[in-house]
Amino acid sequence: MCIPESHVFTKKQLTSILERCIGKTLSEVDEKRILAKGKRNKGYAGAVIEQSVLKYPRDNARRPDLVVDNVETELKTTGIIPSKDANIPYEAKEPVSITAVQPETIRFEEFEKSAFWEKTAHMLFVYYFYSHKVSSPAEYGDFLIKGYQFTEFTGPDKERLKNDWTIVRDFICAIHKKYPDDPSSQYPRISSELNREKLTVIDTAPKWPNRPRFRFKRRFVSALVNEHFGKQYDRLPGTYSSFADIDAKCRELTRDYGGKTVSELFEILGIEKKQQPSKQDSERVIVRMFGGQARRLGDVEIFTKFSVVGKSIVLTKKGARTEDMKFAPVDFDELQDPDISFEDSAFRANFSESQILCIVFEEPSQAAPYKSNRFIGFKRISFSDEFIDTEVKATWDAVRALLQNHELRFVPQLRKDGSERHNPNKELRGAPNLPKSSEYTVFFRGTGQNSDPKNKSVCIDGVSMYPQNIWIKGSYMAKLLGEIPLL
């Protein structure tokens, strides 16, 4: 396919151009005054890079954007935000859209010659810092350009992309074979049946009847971003190209370590002794079982790129479990941003992308210390579209309404006689009127070391509060875990 001369560069030319942009705001490099034109559009940052920085005209052609040293290269201008995780600097603001899923033609493609690989084999990411929500195109101008990255997917990452793409291609082929007279009637299943449990680093969105596109998952992009900015992830021995590979390893680990107590696992795995091991050590146990050295799954390359979250589950002899599960930090900036829909939100992605790898222990008795619990296996769980579109969205809608209508309030905790309760430091007890577990399956709960007002580091509409996390009601998790067999 012929690419206009204005899109042709050497890598040296692009490096020189982009180096001069680092540390500047989008408005400072916007020579064409893109931000002063038109209506609000989240594609404005990309338009500034294309038209004002690289100086080629707006172009919606389906081919890759650039030719760099005679190699077709896709340009992606991507927003990054501060991470809620103190161990990593940034998160991707959103997934990265790649190209349309074409059910009519993808079944005739091979990966190496596919439209998807044409767009992903060679990429140039330009990162800008999305520092605040915007209400006009001009406000994009405040955002700093933080860096750029030439990316060629090789080795394990290429195999992961190939595996995911092949899953989609083969699923569509099966649809056409089974429903030759009306395959389009089954196209809605492409996203609903594959995204949740099959696809590791890409997904497809939006849902049919809107024609879906391949996207890099938000957490996969976040890993690429943080690797670029210097994050050193722990890399596990072995090859993991799919969730099936992780499941197979979990079964192997259960055969090797099943029945061992927490204390015995510490000894066998060479984890330094602690007087009282606790549930906070569970992620470290998982990583060490897999052959890694990190303390958290979030510091392991494969778990990060596959959006795998680690949790410890303790069952009684009867299998019951009722503890609420702490999930992801709350991003109030996103919740207050009117331009972000639920479908495109990180709030939703926390559930739609995440796979929860549960290390399951059984307690010998309710009074037994954690170190006496015995390892019985793993469960990998994901959340259904029905749960996301009902329970998760209900919480999203409730919080958005509170914030948009300026109805957020601090609610004092009262005694039975109606008097206010105070902590020993005389701090008034209470909490903001965010979704509670008494009303919602997915709810908010604050996290603070103690009741010192200094720990209330979040302030929304004049309401000070502890940093908030998304939680999932224990009764729901118990039911879900009961339906899923051990790996």
pLDDT on residue 322? 66
Q: Can you tell me the mean pLDDT for 30-44? A: 77
Burial 24-54 (b: 16+ CB within 10 A, else e): ebbbebbebebbeeeeeebebbbbbbbbbbb
Rounded to a whole number of angstroms, the CA Rg of the chain reads: 24
Right CATH for 243-326+352-382+477-483 from 3.40.1420, 3.40.210, 1.25.40, 3.60.15: 3.40.210
Could you tell me if 163 and 45 are in contact, meaning their C-beta atoms sit under 8 angstroms apart? no
Q: Can you tell me the mean pLDDT for 30-57? A: 84
From the number of C-beta atoms within 10 Å of its C-beta (0-12, 13-18, 19+), residue 452 rates as exposed
Task: Indicate the range of 148-152, 343-347, 424-428, 432-436 predicted with least confidence.
Answer: 424-428
Pairing assessment for the beta strands 325-329 and 355-362 based on DSSP bridges: unpaired
Q: Can you tell me the mean pLDDT for 312-333? A: 83
pTM here? 0.90
Q: Can you tell me the mean pLDDT for 374-395? A: 95
Q: Can you tell me the mean pLDDT for 320-346? A: 86
Could you tell me if 46 and 56 are in contact, meaning their C-beta atoms sit under 8 angstroms apart? no
Q: Give the closest residue to 283 by CA, choosing from 223, 359, 376.
A: 359
The larger pLDDT score, comparing residue 272 to residue 61, is at: 272
pLDDT on residue 417? 76
The larger pLDDT score, comparing residue 390 to residue 429, is at: 390
Where is 391: in which H helix or E strand? none
pLDDT on residue 241? 94
> Quick one: CATH architecture of 5-228?
3-Layer(aba) Sandwich (3.40)
Task: Indicate the range of 40-44, 170-174, 218-222, 248-252 predicted with least confidence.
Answer: 40-44
Tokens of residue 376, six digits:
């019985």
What confidence tier does 39 reach under pLDDT thresholds 50, 70, 90? Answer: low
pLDDT on residue 1? 57
pLDDT on residue 57? 84
Task: Indicate the range of 160-164, 274-278, 353-357, 455-459 predicted with least confidence.
Answer: 274-278
What confidence tier does 213 reach under pLDDT thresholds 50, 70, 90? Answer: very high
pLDDT by residue (tens digit) across 160-205? 999 999 999 999 999 999 999 999 999 988 988 888 789 999 999 8
pLDDT by residue (tens digit) across 394-434? 999 999 999 999 999 998 887 777 777 887 777 777 789 99
The phi and psi torsions of 339 (rounded to 5 degrees) equal -85, -10
Domains of the chain, by residue range, sit at: 5-228, 243-326+352-382+477-483
pLDDT on residue 220? 96
Mean pLDDT of the chain: 90
Residue 129 has pLDDT above 90, yes or no: yes
pLDDT on residue 276? 76
Task: Return the sign of the alpha-carbon dihedral for residues 443, 310, 125, 199.
Answer: negative
The percent of residues in the chain predicted with pLDDT above 70, rounded, is 96
Q: Can you tell me the mean pLDDT for 267-281? A: 83
